[in-house]
Structure 1
């Protein structure tokens, strides 16, 4: 841990996609002293880097916070596992590796809500700045950045057949989902390098660890932000059994994610007054929106049994199949072990009245009862479909002032009637695609939720039974200017100088796709905003370390 006399210009909390890119950009100026704090450990666990290893990282306390939601009334009272990365690279170390920006309209709506500088025309250059696309520099892609984007190295005939069936259903085949309009069906591009996961740590931290002005510390649990005369000046963190107060002379930037960042704010006394007072936390600055506006993509996992098909179910349930996968990956980093969890995608409208695609498919050559359980022993594929723009809103709150207590996570899935209607439409649309001629050679038979479920009410109940998170929580420190907003368009926490939030929590509305690369873009945007801001430092530089090493009780 830093010495008792050291002060930093910038302290970044969380080494996920946003925090990693911020550390890279801010420390590029040797005059800036930058400290990056990560609650998890090093990203040296082998299963992080083998793409199929996400199966061994999610639910593993070595790499995952292992959160659980509250019982969800909209999901028949079920509690869901809620994975979040707890390791260098954050969730980019355990996610599905899909490179997705969302739709141009997502960002234009952010700008229209009073957030200038966040329209598609503003953020596209930021996506390109970070990107190292396999096709190099182009009008819509960058080739000189750090965030590798490659084509997948393995495919399955059943996925090709689904793509053809989608085309027969009026969904065009596309080669690039990242042009601003992602409607169509095709193979996802992935954040990999030659069949190995490419996480934010490899992209942005490893190349710069020798910079003398950058300090990266792991296994550091940040409890709260401390204010001096209303300004954020220190973070209180626990490391190796001791508590430390560390000073940031210019800014503290929270990049702890849609679950972590609101928790740190609330423990700091920044949040809804009723919650803080009920927990005995002094209200330092009332911000009622902290923890609210939680949004997530709820996926409906439709499973279809097959005949005359080879899927991962048979391969992974065979000793020879497992041996073959291992040898293939060892030989050329391809085969099933190089697979992203979902290889084929589609973006479609649930009904023609939608202004743009509002459903996303993740199609997988495998099936299982629920995530974390063994694959089925029969050949099958899964067509997972999610509502990209849900209207249901939830929240996340701390349970106590103790950072070791898991947060209360309540996504409130399917609480809005429009989300139920979209879910029913999504099931019907999936059945129509699977009934197309291109798939009939495989004799698909609906296994989940079950072909006998046909009425609107039955489909609502089916959605409640099979729905689960696709791991995209956002929105809990919403950007905006109204009374429920937490940060402004420059990501500064309203009413608290010296403090910003830069992660998926600032999204006013969830993007129409996977959230990792948009979060990385938010980090890129934050770096731009910070570097363009006139220097403002704490007025009490003698307050460097209030408790250099106070033992934790």
Structure 2
């Protein structure tokens, strides 16, 4: 390996890396090396839709990051699960397929991201898509990524949707259609029985190609340089250091936390910070690691009067056996869902053009989430979770030390601005209004969290500080944009040569919804730009 050279080296086999490696190797003209710090995706819990809780804190296939204490959240450290496995976080997430709104991408364009407006990115969403409902002006068939409807219409989820409608939220059959606002079922990246991640859709067929080499359990230590040109990668496999060189480009797809960490370890980042850690500065890039954004949420939990929630599987061995039989024999039942199959998008204020609150309808409830795992309530229950889609605060990612094995320092300033506080309070109010509707009367016994006694704005904000969490959609730490951004609109790192970033860290502003589908779109568009420049 020390002597090998490739046309392209892709670092990170998450959603973006799988798409990028597959597309760059597709023609057979170029050799591609794909490095992944984690193992192969062999665990059955990855492929089982309801296996998400098992992967939430997996000790070998999850980075299990934690933030620094967050002042706005009672100085709690916030858990950040990230996939450390082929497929990355796309192998452990909730599988929701959500693009965001056209306005999201048009704002990117206004922020200096030329060529990233809605009309420019839509074709790349459609290139990937194999839409179960068929093709139209916004959707396509024939792509490698299966986008499907959840088959099981459970009474609980249908009742929540009906209650949301009774609360004044219009029905929406396609959140990726002409309008995002409304309530209904989500679409997902899955087949009838299993997850369909970027690893399944893109990388698995690509691995048959002789011009693509995939190396797992390969921790990237740093970039290698010839002057200011990124010429190769130094990485570690089973304790042994290796290196490889790139004839054309290196593409970092290591994620919102991993990409700025690798860049800073390699001498690209805020120069004073690097010098403090004894790292030689190759290029002073103050924006690397800045602009961290994430969706923030809290949740309201309700004791259910019927044993039909995912909590009941944890409570009852017999129900687990029954659910397993349903899954194996018929491809139906609780095991075919991730727990998040429906929701709503609403506005916290009437003057807004687009929704700024997403409400997930969760078929389970938990007493807490920690690096040790999700702790379900020991009774039948479900949750409504209001999510802040456009938080105003910005955080950053930096190094703890010059050791590549040390986790990065993650600073997330949640719930700091008055607008963020106002919006999350409105989301809680809407959730309670949904729960009060006739359609849910036969399902709800009582509000468990935060509890009926927690009513005032001050009490609700304090409860949110104590229980609020990340929605695990971090973006933005190596943003593209105008001259003040680390990346240009072609995702090339300014000030150096032979290096691009292709993952969610390039987003200048977080999108209004789940981030996995936009990350794959970014990789589709980036791959086309890279191949065009390689001609």
Q: Shorter-chain-normalised TM-score: which range?
A: over 0.9
Query: 1:437 aligns to what?
Result: 438
Structure 2 Cα separation of the partners of residues 171 and 377 of structure 1:
32
Query: 2:455 aligns to what?
Result: 454
Query: 1:40 aligns to what?
Result: 38
TM value normalised by structure 1: 0.94
Match of 2:217 among 176, 194, 219: 219
Could you say what secondary structure the match of 2:242 adopts? strand
In the TM superposition, structure 1's runs of 4+ consecutive aligned residues that sit over 4 Å from their partners are none
Match of 1:117 among 115, 118, 134: 115
Aligned in 2, Cα 1:285/1:180: closer, same or farther, shift over 3 Å?
Answer: farther
Could you say what secondary structure the match of 2:368 adopts? coil
Query: 1:417 aligns to what?
Result: 418
TM value normalised by structure 2: 0.97
1:159–1:363: 8 Å Cα contact kept in structure 2?
A: yes
Query: 2:265 aligns to what?
Result: 267
Structure 2 Cα separation of the partners of residues 273 and 409 of structure 1:
18
User: How many angstroms does 1:442 deviate by?
Assistant: 2.7
Matches within 5 A, 1:76-225: 76-179=74-177, 181-225=179-223
Are positions 1:388 and 2:389 aligned together? yes
Structure 2 Cα separation of the partners of residues 186 and 62 of structure 1:
35
Matches within 5 A, 1:458-473: 458-473=459-474
User: How many angstroms does 1:75 deviate by?
Assistant: 1.1
1:15–1:38: 8 Å Cα contact kept in structure 2?
A: yes
Structure 1 Cα separation of the partners of residues 387 and 331 of structure 2:
30
1:223–1:264: 8 Å Cα contact kept in structure 2?
A: yes
Could you say what secondary structure the match of 2:41 adopts? coil
Structure 1 Cα separation of the partners of residues 148 and 461 of structure 2:
38
2:2–2:244: 8 Å Cα contact kept in structure 1?
A: no
Aligned in 2, Cα 1:308/1:230: closer, same or farther, shift over 3 Å?
Answer: closer
Q: CA RMSD in A?
A: 1.4
User: How many angstroms does 1:180 deviate by?
Assistant: 5.0
2:51–2:338: 8 Å Cα contact kept in structure 1?
A: no
Moved more, 280-289 or 223-232: 223-232
Query: 1:550 aligns to what?
Result: none
Residue deviations 1:180-209 (CA, integer Å, cap 9, x gap):
531111111111112201111111111121
Residue deviations 1:137-158 (CA, integer Å, cap 9, x gap):
2221111111111111223212
Structure 2 Cα separation of the partners of residues 122 and 47 of structure 1:
36
Are positions 1:323 and 2:301 aligned together? no
Matches within 5 A, 1:227-242: 227-242=225-240
Aligned residues: 532
Could you say what secondary structure the match of 1:249 adopts? strand
1:149–1:192: 8 Å Cα contact kept in structure 2?
A: yes
Residue deviations 1:487-507 (CA, integer Å, cap 9, x gap):
110000011111000000000
Query: 1:509 aligns to what?
Result: 509
Query: 1:488 aligns to what?
Result: 488
User: How many angstroms does 1:441 deviate by?
Assistant: 2.7
Query: 1:546 aligns to what?
Result: none
1:449–1:466: 8 Å Cα contact kept in structure 2?
A: no
Unmatched runs of 5 consecutive residues or more in structure 2 = none
Unmatched runs of 5 consecutive residues or more in structure 1 = 536-553
